[in-house]
Amino acid sequence: MEEQEREINHVIGENIERYIYEKHVTKSMIKRKTGIDGKRFNLILKGEVSVTTKKLQEIARILEVKTLDLLEDWSEG
């Protein structure tokens, strides 16, 4: 049986949350530096809306990770 890929928006949201925790960066800092409003940022974290590649790069820079790290599905199955 073929393994299904998870929805990319959910993967991105989970990875941003993970790196926020690991890097001790506040959500407020990311919102302020990227100009993403609070409601939209929360929807991004929940995987309910997509984020532009430009904003994804900005978030990665703030978190001091590679943009690709935010796209990687670390889940087990």
What is the per-residue pLDDT across 5-55, written as a single tens digit (0 to 9) for each? 789 999 999 999 999 999 999 999 999 999 999 999 999 999 999 999 999
Query: Is the per-residue pLDDT at 63 higher than 90?
Result: yes
SS3 per-residue string spanning 14-37: HHHHHHHHHHCCCHHHHHHHHCCC
Least confident of 29-38, 54-63, 66-75: 66-75
Domains belonging to the chain, first-starting first, are: 8-69 (1.10.260.40)
With 60 as the cut, is the pLDDT of residue 77 above it?
no
> Measuring CA to CA, how many Å separate 72 from each of 1, 18, 36, 38?
22, 12, 22, 24
